[in-house]
Chain A
Amino acid sequence: MIKREPLVLGNKSLKDVTEDICEVVERPPGKAFLAALFSAKMLFIFYIIVWGCIVAKGIGLMGINSPVGWGTAIITFVFWIGIGHAGTLISAVLFLFRQKWRTSIARTAEAMTVFAVMTAGVFPLLHTGRPWLAYWLLPYPNQRGPLWVNFRSPLLWDVFAVSTYATVSIVFWYIGMVPDLATIRDRAKNKIRKTVYGALSLGWRGTATQWNHFEMVYMLLAGLATPLVLSVHSIVSFDFAVANLPGWHTTIFPPYFVAGAIFSGFGMVVTLMVIIREVLPKFKSYITMNHMENMNKIIMTTGLLVGYAYGSEFFVAWYSGSEYEVYAFTNRAFGPYWWSYWTMITCNVFIPQLFWFKKIRTSIPAMFVISIFVNIGMWFERFVIVVTSLHRDFLPSSWGMFKFTFFDLGVIFGSFGMFFFLFLLYTRVFPAISIAEVKPVLGVGRKDETHG
């Protein structure tokens, strides 16, 4: 018989679970945390300044120009939106599949989703060039007719998809956290803390009736978030696929984008979990090697899926018989941007396949490095899609090259400052592991089977 691996190590009691997880929120932060927070904050401030310059002067400060009118902003938007997907996948899809190992990583993965979507949202808004008019994207009765938005445009679908996704993920994340906020409230010693968490927990008291409704809503939200998460990246891919441009106009885009999103999102979850395990050693009992291994297996599988998508794109380009389509793909792999294409292939298709070896799959340094390669690769995937498809137009007279400027690099690296700043604050204010969800699975794989 195959034994179940314990989900929580170290024979924890219910009280230990509460103590271990609440401790992070209740104790003053350590030096390592403050150093990390300070660095992230400085990077965040730098990011704000860079965007400030771009908004004040114009988006021409970035490398975009004819024919490459979509550059860093769109690439990095798709990159961050994609990262968000793993959080919903862990919290909703694995929940529906009754994967109990999701419990101890779901909360943090969801927080990652929320912050990644926030980071992503900045890019299209500021890339409009006149962000103070961004509310024109919403269909509201106005004094210009009323002139309505164009519902046939994929860019508008994107507005609806991303804002719905952001709203539903925040609500899902928050509702799941309510019982744990009540735990922190009940442990609070001083009045301000008690009141703040008392309000945040909405007055949750954990009666059987409350749990009954809570569990039902949690399941319903998981059921609603699952098609939602698949729709969001499909719609993001429509931004490209609906356009009649060789390299973009392909039917494979929606599943290919969703697979890529899950791939990059799990890459980011592994990066974050490795850091959390190092900074908060007590969490090693909850986020075990078994969890890390499972996530690495998903990275390996989705890496194969995106590899298949890259191959199939080439096949379809050749099979289509359209010379523009064939040229767009030959130009990707062997044109002036060959380096970006092969960086993408190396990072996404080859490197994650190292996870076939159990030794690598269960080595913390190895998975940390590979997970970073995955994210580099996925950023380049979007670079390849956006830039190599645009830079050589149908007529050679309108060909051009895309060159990074200081501002391009500033917003790419700066966005990590925003993401990590929010994420680090979250680990201090909210319980980073779902207390109420870990408790029922304490007994899984344990010898005495006292709980659950």
Chain B
Amino acid sequence: MDSIFDFIKGFINGKTRKVVAGIWLDEKALVGAARTAKNMGIDKLEAISPYPMHEIDDALGIPRSIIPYVTIVTGLIGCAFGIWLTVWTSAYDWPLVIGGKPLNSLAAFVPIIFECTILFAALSSVAAMIYKCGLPKVDPPIIDPDLTCHKFALFVPEDSKSYDEAKLELLFKDLGAVEVKKAEF
């Protein structure tokens, strides 16, 4: 039973990588360390924090999320779907005169078209976020349980060009990490 469960988990979660992670206790110290390490040319540097930190995107050079483009495109698709659904069913597929109103009562279809737009845009944006964040996973390995509570981390995965356990440990300690951990992530 347990092995089946682990198999499914492994299947959903995918492969893990080895990482070297430094742990900080303060947001500002972490952002400073991230900036320095990035300037030193550390490749594939990533941070973990219990809440969103605003300077970190700039420090790590994370580009603006592309999700708004998904939202506008799927919103327009939803709008087009709403127009097609209402006009085609009311005026073409089975035209029925109801209450003496025109078959294509576009003004009366606006609420439906609007709701379709919102529904498509919202659900697709969330789907895009789940995809871009590498979710969903079932209970994947974590570096430290306190990283969702009060600690902050910087880590470098093994597929990075600058991956050298000893050097990274030294660097993180230099930058003020209270602890350096090697983990599967």
Give the distance in Å from the alpha carbon of A168 to the alpha carbon of B71 in the complex: 14
Contact pattern, B 97-136, Cβ under 8 Å of A = 1, otherwise 0: 0110100010011011011101101110110111011111
Q: Is A111 an interface residue (CB 8 A)?
A: no
Contact A221 B126 (CB under 8 A): yes
Interface residue? B42 (CB, 8 A): no
Contact A207 B48 (CB under 8 A): yes
Which residues of chain A from 137 to 185 have any CB-CB distance to chain B below 8 Å in the complex? Answer: 139, 145-152, 156-157, 160-161, 164, 167-168, 171-172, 175, 179, 182-183, 185
**A148 vs B47: C-alpha distance in the bound complex, in angstroms?**
53
Contact A15 B138 (CB under 8 A): no
Set A148, A206, A225, A227: member contacting B89, Cβ < 8 A: A148
* A interface SS class: helix
A-B contact pairs, 24 of them (CB 8 A): A146-B94, A164-B119, A168-B122, A175-B126, A183-B148, A195-B139, A199-B136, A206-B48, A208-B46, A208-B48, A208-B53, A209-B62, A211-B53, A211-B56, A212-B57, A212-B62, A212-B64, A213-B132, A217-B67, A217-B126, A220-B68, A224-B118, A437-B51, A440-B51
**A221–B118 Cα gap in the complex (Å)?**
9
CB–CB A185/B136 < 8 A: no
Tell me the chain A residues, 50-76 only, with Cβ under 8 Å from chain B. none
Least distance between B39 CB and chain A CB atoms (Å): 16
- Decide: B93 and A203 in contact? CB cutoff 8 A: no
Residue of B101, B108, B121, B128 with most partner-chain A CB within 10 A: B108
B interface size (C-beta, 8 A): 64
Q: Which residues on the A side are within 8 Å of B64 (C-beta)? A: 212, 216
Q: Contacts A14-B149, A160-B111, A202-B136: A216 and B65 contacting too (C-beta < 8 A)?
A: yes
In the bound complex, CA of A131 to CA of B64 (Å): 47
Q: What mask results when residues 61 to 98 of chain B are scored 1 for a CB within 8 Å of chain A, else 0?
A: 01011011001000000000000011001100110101
Q: Is A391 close to B, CB under 8 A?
A: no
Q: Mark B155-177, 1 if CB is under 8 A from A, else 0.
A: 00000000000000000000000
A318 within 8 A of B: no
Q: Inside 8 A of A224's CB, which chain B residues have their CB?
A: 71, 118, 121-122, 125
Contact between B48 and A175, CB atoms less than 8 A apart: no
Smallest Cβ-Cβ distance to A217: which chain B residue: B129
A235 at the interface (CB under 8 A from B): yes
- Residue numbers in B under 8 Å from A183 (CB-CB): 50, 148-149
Question: Contact: A167 with B123, CB < 8 Å?
Answer: yes
Question: Known pairs A187-B149, A221-B126, A224-B121. 19 more at Cβ < 8 A?
Answer: A18-B50, A164-B119, A168-B122, A172-B122, A183-B50, A202-B136, A203-B134, A205-B140, A211-B52, A213-B67, A216-B67, A220-B121, A221-B122, A221-B125, A231-B111, A231-B114, A235-B111, A440-B52, A451-B27
The smallest beta-carbon distance between A164 and chain B, in angstroms, is 4
Smallest Cβ-Cβ distance to A225: which chain B residue? B122
A235, B49: Cα distance in complex, Å: 42
B123–A195 CB distance below 8 A:
no
Whether the pair A151, B90 counts as a contact (CB closer than 8 A) is yes
Within 8 A of A (CB), among B1-54: 13, 27, 46-53
Shortest Cβ distance from B49 into A: residue: A206
A204 and B50 CA atoms in complex are apart in Å by 11
A228 at the interface (CB under 8 A from B): yes
Asked if residues A203 and B138 are in contact (CB atoms below 8 Å), the reply is yes
Residues on A with C-beta less than 8 A from B130 are 202
Q: Is the CB of B150 within 8 A of A203?
A: no
In the complex with contacts A152-B108, A179-B148, A224-B118, A186-B142 CB distance below 8 A: yes
Contact A208 B49 (CB under 8 A): yes
Question: B137 touching A203 by the CB < 8 A rule?
Answer: yes
Distance to closest chain A CB from B136 (angstroms): 4
Partner of A175, one of B116, B118, B129, B150: B129
Q: A439 an interface residue at 8 Å Cβ cutoff?
A: yes
Question: Known: A151-B90, A212-B62, A217-B67. Is A436-B115 also a contact (CB below 8 A)?
Answer: no
How many angstroms between the C-alpha atoms of A378 and B19 in the bound complex?
58
How far, in whole Å, are A121 and B109 apart by their CA atoms in the complex?
22
In the complex, are the beta carbons of A151 and B49 less than 8 A apart?
no
Bound Cα distance A217, B64 (Å): 12
Q: Indicate whether B60 reaches chain A with its CB closer than 8 angstroms.
A: yes
- Contact at B138–A195, with CB atoms within 8 Å? yes
A238 is an interface residue with CB less than 8 A from chain B:
yes
Q: Which of B13, B123, B138, B147 contacts A171 (CB 8 A)?
A: B123
Min distance, Cβ A26 to any Cβ of chain B, angstroms: 13
Minimum-distance CB pairs A-B, first 10: A203-B137, A198-B139, A14-B150, A148-B89, A216-B65, A186-B145, A157-B111, A202-B136, A217-B129, A183-B148
Nearest CB of chain A from residue B106's CB, rounded to whole Å: 10
A235 to B62, CA, bound (A): 41
Q: Which residues in B have their C-beta under 8 angstroms from that of A152? A: 90, 98-99, 101, 105, 108-109
**How far, in angstroms, from A208 to B52 measured CA to CA in the complex?**
7
